[in-house]
Structures are given as structure tokens and as C-alpha cells.
Amino acid sequence: MCYLPLLLVPYCSLLLIRPLMLMFVQYSLSVHNNFIMKVCVSYLQILGMISCCISEGKETQIRNRSKDFVE
């Protein structure tokens, strides 16, 4: 039970961050179609991928720990 909030925090933050990133990407591409904005967009996409990987890694660590407790 005590691990449930730890799982929900990264998941909820990702749910909030993704739409904001997509909105920013669409806005920046429609207003400024230059090299700097493309670099920013790719940087944001890389950050999104990193945050996904980190949250998935935390979930697997927590699952492994909970298995140890059950045994």
C-alpha cells in the first residue's frame, strides 16, 4: 500500500507534462519555424523520453522490492 503513491507521482506528472509539451511544440512550430525552435522541440522530446524511462525504471524497482517483501 505504501508504494502506491510512489507509483502515482511519476505517472501523474507525465500525464500533466505531455499535453503541455505537445501544446508548446505545436505553438512553436506554427509561430516560429526556425532552427532554434526545432532544437528546443527535439530537446523537449528527449527530456520526455528520459522522464518516461526514469518512471518506468522506478516502477520496476518498486515491483521487485514488493516481490521481496511478499516472499
pLDDT tens digits, one per residue of 19-70: 777 777 777 666 656 666 677 777 877 777 777 666 666 666 656 665 555 5
Average pLDDT value for residue range 8-29: 71
pLDDT value, residue 4: 60
In this structure, is residue 38 part of a structural domain?
Answer: yes
Average pLDDT value for residue range 12-23: 72
In this structure, is residue 71 part of a structural domain?
Answer: no
pLDDT value, residue 1: 47
**What domain count does the chain have?**
1
Mean pLDDT of the chain: 67
Contact 44, 25 (CB under 8 A): yes
Tell me how far apart the alpha carbons of residues 57 and 59 are, in angstroms, rounded to a whole number. Answer: 5
Q: Which residue has the higher pLDDT, 55 or 2?
A: 55
Contact 2, 65 (CB under 8 A): no
Q: Which domain holds residue 8?
A: 4-66
